[in-house]
Homo-oligomer: A and B are copies of this chain.
Amino acid sequence: MAKLMKKSSIKAGLPPGSLIFVGDKRAGEAKVNVIDYDEDHFQEKKLKRIDECFVFKNKAPITWIDVDMVNETNIVEKLGECHVLHPLVLEDILNTDQRPKMEDYGEYLYIVVRMLTCSGKNGDIESEQLSLILGPNYLISFQEKEGDVFNPVRERLRANKGRIRKAGADYLAYCLLDAIVDNYFVVLENYGERIELLEEQLIVNPTPATLKALHTLKRDMIFLRKSVWPLREVIAGLEREGASLISDSTRLYMRDVYDHTIQVIDALETFRDILSGMLDIYLSSVSHKLNEVMKVLTIIATIFIPLTFIVGLYGMNFKHMPELEWYWGYPAVLLVMFIISLFMVAFFRKKKWI
């Protein structure tokens, strides 16, 4: 899991609209990829200089400008100038600690969502901010890091499969959102498996490590929730009143993404409830183990302490201890001690301790 807070404090005191990258600086250059398409036409291009994409601006086909690694502020600035974006939008694109939101600026929609990916072997999730600018015939996407979940969408564009090349930029935006939400399910299944594994461990042999894993999972749930909850409102907004930029046919598809988002939220809440229940199980199993330990101690001590007293008694060195002289004294004492032990064992049996 990442740090609790990104360093957005470095912006305190700056005028609004200041373009400063907030987030983990990563080495490497920003990459700009442009796809220009309509039903009959398809062109894909990796740009070297950002200015090259300005030519696509007012041309008829739909243009998808995809910017990776937004840590270079000047790319954002130039794109902003070219498409007349509000300075606050540019600022938010660079501030990668946004919560998901949708803002309608009339001529374009500004959408922020979080892209989650499972990485590595232990399945840690990586979170990345995706900003979308949806205009009438263009879509600009800004990604925080390299790598995304959009390859299937690109494939469909290239292969001209399904509706995608026939529909507008709004449908493309839907496809990206759908890809992101579909990927949430991958993340959730990953967590579902980890929770079930932990549940088994908890019953077999709970250790402090189990507890730590539980805590980590709970914390991850809190972060996932923070990423997914506001998404609901975002997509509901796109479905309901997303202005003239979302066509009616796309709106039906948005409803479908909305349903998926609700399913994700439902699953998250279920996971949270189950994790809370597991903590209770852990605590009571720790108590139970303590009970077991104490029972063993009590049984052994309670049996032997009185016996030790008795043998100590006849170890005293008094001159006049008649029992010591008796011929059957020793066997008699052994017998007495045996009877006491039997009595003790019977007592513990009655208490259901053994």
Chain A positions within 8 Å of B, measured between CB atoms, are: 3-5, 7-9, 11-17, 86, 88, 91-92, 97-99, 101, 103, 149, 151-152, 156, 161-164, 174-175, 178-179, 182-183, 185-186, 188-189, 192-193, 195-196, 203, 205, 208, 211-212, 215, 218-219, 222-223, 226, 252-253, 255-256, 259, 262-263, 266-267, 270-271, 273-274, 277-298, 300-302, 304-309, 311-321, 323-327, 329-330, 333, 351-353
Q: Is the CB of B317 within 8 A of A88?
A: no
Closest to A281 in B: B215
Cβ–Cβ contact B314 & A317, under 8 A: yes
- Chain B residues, CB < 8 A from A161: 15
**A185 pairs with B15, CB closer than 8 A:** no
Question: From residue A178, how far is it (CB to closest CB) to chain B in Å?
Answer: 6
Is B290 touching A294 in the complex (CB atoms < 8 A)?
Answer: yes
A289 touches B286 (CB 8 A): no
Q: Which of B4, B16, B351 contacts A192 (CB 8 A)?
A: B4
A-B contact pairs, 20 of them (CB 8 A): A4-B193, A5-B185, A9-B186, A11-B185, A12-B149, A13-B151, A16-B174, A97-B263, A98-B259, A211-B288, A282-B284, A286-B287, A286-B291, A291-B293, A294-B294, A297-B297, A312-B312, A312-B315, A317-B324, A319-B324
Interface centre among A13, A17, A263, A277 (most CB of B within 10 A): A13
A5 to B288, CA, bound (A): 31
B88 touches A253 (CB 8 A): yes
Q: In the assembled complex, how far is the CB of residue A343 from the closest CB belonging to chain B, in whole angstroms? A: 12
Q: Is A314 a contact partner of B314 (Cβ separation < 8 A)?
A: no
Contacts of A293 in B (CB 8 A): 291, 294-295, 298, 353
Q: Are B288's CB and A208's CB within 8 A?
A: yes
Contact of A297 among B164, B255, B294 (CB under 8 A): B294
Q: How far is the CA of A215 from the CA of B307 in the complex (A)?
A: 43
- B residues in contact with A314, CB < 8 Å: 316-318
Q: Which residues from B are CB-within-8-Å of A186?
A: 9, 12
Q: How far is the CB of A7 from chain B (nearest CB, A)?
A: 7
Q: Is there an interface contact between B302 and A330, defined as CB atoms closer than 8 Å?
A: no
A238 to chain B, nearest CB (A): 15
Q: Which residues of B contact A333 (CB under 8 A)?
A: 316, 318
Chain B residues near A17 (CB, 8 Å)? 162
- Which residue of B174, B277, B289, B296 is within 8 Å of A302 (Cβ)? B296
A13 touches B215 (CB 8 A): no
Q: Is the CB of A179 within 8 A of B277?
A: no
Q: Contact check: which of B196, B266, B278, B329 meets A318 at CB < 8 Å?
A: B329
Residues of chain B within 8 A of A86, CB atoms compared: 252
Contacts of A280 on B, CB cut-off 8 Å?
Answer: 215, 279, 283
Q: Please tell me if the beta carbons of A255 and B319 are within 8 angstroms of each other in the complex.
A: no
B11 with A182: CB separation less than 8 A: yes
A351: B residues at CB distance < 8 A: 292, 296
Q: Find chain B residues with CB under 8 A from A305 CB.
A: 300-301, 304-305, 308
> Which listed residue (B183, B306, B318) contacts A300, Cβ 8 A?
B306
Q: Nearest B residue to A178 by beta-carbon distance?
A: B16
Are A320 and B312 in contact, CB atoms less than 8 angstroms apart? no
- The 8 Å CB contact of A290, one of B97, B281, B291, B352, is B291
